[in-house]
Structure 1
Amino acid sequence: MIAGKLNTFVWVHEEDANALRELSGANAAREAAWLTAQRERLGLSEGEPTPKPLRLELLRLRPVRWPGQSHLVEASMRVRLSRPDLVGPWSPFTPEERESQRLSGRRPGTPSERFTDKLALDLDPELVNFAQLASHRISEPIVSQLRAENLLGPGRSRSRAARLRREELQAQIYTLGRIIREAIALVLHP
């Protein structure tokens, strides 16, 4: 885990995870080539440590020139969260709502899409908090509608019409994972 970042797990489709890994792997190879060239320029042998100024330069350049998975997703999350449907303004979480964000498991009404790969990302905690707030505020009225129409829980209506209505409403639900997946799509399909 990177200091100052929040380790965040997200389930994604395998092909998206593989494409993101391939992109960040290519960036890592370019970074290694740059470092090798800089060490050669300085005349460093293989056993000599990389000088601190060069290591600091590498850290400064990495997010911009050779972004890894977390850098790519974080930058595209900022773009996704700046779009009109997610930008807000949103009223802050109440203490109870903030506490409920800590609970594991699926949120009420989350669509039943199947994902087969999981990414571990180190993201800016404020960015994650904003994405959680936006997804919660957008989804609140939809979850309320699902409850009002008896489409959630063990006693829910199970007719074909109810299932179709539930799927229609669930497609409008936002989660942190959905926002991250949409951000990944921006990286892979600009």
Structure 2
Amino acid sequence: MEIQRITVWVTGPIKSTLDAYHDNCAKAEAEFIRSKISGGAEKRAARAEAARLRPERWPTQDVLATAAVRRYLREPHLAGPWEPLSPRELGRMRLAGRWPGPKLGGLVAERQFGLPADVVLQVRTASWRISKEWLDLLEEEGLVGVKLDAEDRARRDELASNLLTPGQIIRDALGQPFALRWPGLHGSTK
């Protein structure tokens, strides 16, 4: 399975939840190792067992994000069916991070997630198809990829406020109730 890295700006609450999840996984794994050692296992064997169990018991944030995004992509407004992206659209999507986007407040940290390539393509396809008429209008008015004066920037921001970016889809997925919890890891989030 091909993994693609995707960088997303996240809100304070999502950042805090991801940080708490990471800390709780590290604590749970360390406690597991201590428990094994106190039960008579050698340190090396305890660490090896923890490493073997890690993907299921203490999965990475990439695993959580993948599960959350897959669930969210089943929502009716994102599920499609969507026409596949054309080669030209795929080329333009390579610069998805350079899209004009809505001015969002409260984004405090960049996070990079390794998501399966098929999930990234689904996110980008839904984003493109939902935002297509606004992207076309931005392009027709010459408001993309050029230096703009204050009036044109205001117009670009007005139109861009209607876009649903890939980053927004991922933020929305991570912000869903229980999106960042893992069964069996008590207190996986704050």
Contact persistence 2:10–2:110 (CA under 8 A): yes
Contact persistence 1:135–1:175 (CA under 8 A): yes
Q: Which secondary structure state, in structure 2, belongs to the residue aligned with residue 7 of structure 1?
A: strand
Q: Which secondary structure state, in structure 1, belongs to the residue aligned with residue 175 of structure 2?
A: helix
Contact persistence 1:21–1:69 (CA under 8 A): no
* Larger RCO, structure (CA 8 Å, separation 6 or more): 2
Question: In structure 1, how many angstroms separate the alpha carbons of the residues matched to 2:163 and 2:151?
Answer: 20
Matched, 1:61 2:56: yes
| Cα root mean square deviation, aligned | 3.2
Which amino acid in 2 is paired with 1:61? E
Distance 1:101 1:145, change over 3 A: closer
Q: In structure 1, what is the equivalent of residue 184 of structure 2?
A: none
Distance 1:143 1:11, change over 3 A: same
Mind listing any 5+ residue stretches in structure 1 that lack a counterpart? none
Matched, 1:44 2:41: yes
Listed as ranges, the matches of 1:20-169 within 5 Å are 20-41=18-39, 43-46=40-43, 48-50=44-46, 55-56=51-52, 58-62=53-57, 66-103=58-95, 105-107=97-99, 109-114=100-105, 115-146=107-138, 150=141, 152-153=143-144, 158=151, 163=154, 169=159
Distance 1:54 1:21, change over 3 A: closer
Question: In structure 2, how many angstroms separate the alpha carbons of the residues matched to 1:98 and 1:61?
Answer: 34
Matched, 1:175 2:170: no
Aligned length: 176
Question: In structure 1, how many angstroms separate the alpha carbons of the residues matched to 2:48 and 2:148?
Answer: 63
User: What's the offset of the Cα at 1:23?
Assistant: 2.1
Mind listing any 5+ residue stretches in structure 2 that lack a counterpart? 182-190
Question: In structure 2, how many angstroms separate the alpha carbons of the residues matched to 1:45 and 1:98?
Answer: 52
User: What's the offset of the Cα at 1:52?
Assistant: 5.7
Question: In structure 2, how many angstroms separate the alpha carbons of the residues matched to 1:105 and 1:91?
Answer: 22
Listed as ranges, the matches of 1:3-22 within 5 Å are 4-22=2-20
TM-score (normalizing by structure 2): 0.74
User: What's the offset of the Cα at 1:7?
Assistant: 2.1
